[in-house]
Structure 1
């Protein structure tokens, strides 16, 4: 028990620190320091209130504890003999670290899409996912604002990952960090993609902050996390998403919408 409490304390402190530092930096820049100069980037014109931020931070603190527990389980001594986690970084070529990180994000994207759709089932939505959707106008603090059962499901991807491919703890740490940064961007409430992104092939593949913001606004469609791929394959992308992105682009750059 003492070993678990010690491991939990470390994992929880790392998770909650990641939340407050990364979400806090984005919140500081976009909501406190430069809200007027970045007003053109704002996706929804209205603003979330202080009570929304407090609610999100409280739920995120609980979620951080649940995510810490799932990480401990994934790396536990009892589970280690059955997983593909390796500790000698030279056991595989060093290039495997970034490659396995990319593959982990792809696995997570598929995992999240289907988990997210399941949570939107009418029998589960009010029980769990409604907590996250109370943030109809998300901010960086929304990133971990989950019901504790949803937080466990969210963290479950770590357990899946250690069984499907060889992963070094460094890769798992980079995965947790990069996935959270992308998560914060998705809930930012501001669009920051560069001007040329709209006409690049990446626009057809990669999600934007507008993409996920539209999900919070409309509640249905746009279930994907990193990519548009699953939504396009399953025909669940909101039909007005591209139009909404073009509206933001015109708002930001003052140019006509692409035809």
Structure 2
């Protein structure tokens, strides 16, 4: 039987993740409506599916997150700390980078695995049904894919020390980049996307290429794994129709 504090933590984390998704997606969908009116006008049915799969994913994400929250608060199992003096102050921003790099590595390789024809058909095809993706598509995953995404941050908090506030920043970056990379248009300015920073940091233009060609641009935050592994095919063409089929890189 699940103990009451654990059940409450599971329920709370599921609710928090669902609300975070809805709030972020709603905000950026609203931004889209103001800057690019009519962008999603013919995608109502697709958006309903994206919300359905995303809320399913939120429930899956809530299980390991709730377990971690319970273990941290009641048993001190994790490496999460609340007092900045517990670690050197310079470590706080470094921990954010370490989490993003670790998460990006996990995502790159699991994402490439999901593009093997068998697993694409079983699971990842759900995400690629969003053609073109919208601000609601960031968590639109089959449950199998949701599990691969749900476990990475909960695993990292047992390995890499992080202040609770810095963990909040990591989660905020994860949410914002997940949504903005799927908006179907480029939110960030040209000087960033096409400048030196854009050669290493992923925005919607880079991820758009993935949704066009399927077998490239697998990263989440950074482009270094795509560059190292020869799967970086640059930025997408917003005018190009989505074509291609699943394939292993």
Tell me the TM-score range normalised by the shorter chain.
0.7 to 0.9
Q: How does 1:223-234 map to 2 (within 5 A)?
A: 223-234=218-229
TM-score normalised by the chain length of structure 1 = 0.82
2:192 is the counterpart of 1:197: yes
Q: How much has 1:193 moved relative to structure 2?
A: 2.5
For residues 164 and 70 of structure 1, the distance between their equivalents in structure 2, rounded to whole angstroms, comes to 15
2:126 to 117, 126, 131: 131
Sort the Cα spacing of 1:112 and 1:8 in 2 relative to 1 into closer, same or farther, 3 A: same
The match for 2:244 is: none
Say whether the 8 Å CA contact 2:57–2:146 is kept in structure 1: yes
**Larger helix share, 1 or 2:** 1
Q: Which of 138, 143, 146 does residue 148 from structure 1 map onto?
A: 143
Distance 1:154 1:199 in 2: 29
**CA–CA separation in structure 1 for the residues paired with 2:76 and 2:31:** 44
Match of 2:169 among 170, 174, 184: 174
The Cα shift of 1:148 comes to: 1.3
Structure 1's consecutive aligned runs of 4 or more residues displaced over 6 angstroms after TM superposition are none
CA 1:199–1:191 in structure 2 vs 1: closer, same or farther (change >3 Å)?
closer
Is residue 29 from structure 1 mapped to residue 22 from structure 2 by the alignment?
A: no
Tell me the residue number matched to 2:48: 54
Q: CA deviation at 1:131?
A: 0.9
Unmatched segments (≥5 aa) in structure 1? 249-259
- Per-residue CA deviations over 1:92-121 (Å, capped at 9, x if unaligned) read 134432221122111111111011011111
Q: 2:17 aligns with which of 12, 15, 18?
A: 15
TM score, norm. by length of structure 2: 0.86
Gap change, CA 1:163 and 1:201, over 3 Å in 2:
same
User: Which range is displaced more, 139-148 or 197-206?
Assistant: 197-206
Cα deviation for residue 82 of structure 1 reads 5.4
Give, in whole Å, the separation in 1 of the partners of 2:191 and 2:132. Answer: 26
Deviation at 1:151, TM superposition (A): 1.0
Conserved? CA contact 1:48–1:137, under 8 Å: no
**Where does residue 8 of structure 2 map in the other structure?**
6
Equivalence for 1:119: 114
Q: Deviations over 1:56-95 (max 9, x none)?
A: 0000001111111121233442896654233433211344
Return the alpha-carbon distance in structure 2 between the equivalents of residues 176 and 243 of structure 1: 26
Q: Which ranges in structure 2 are unaligned for 5 or more consecutive residues?
A: 241-249
How far 1:126 moved relative to its partner? 1.3
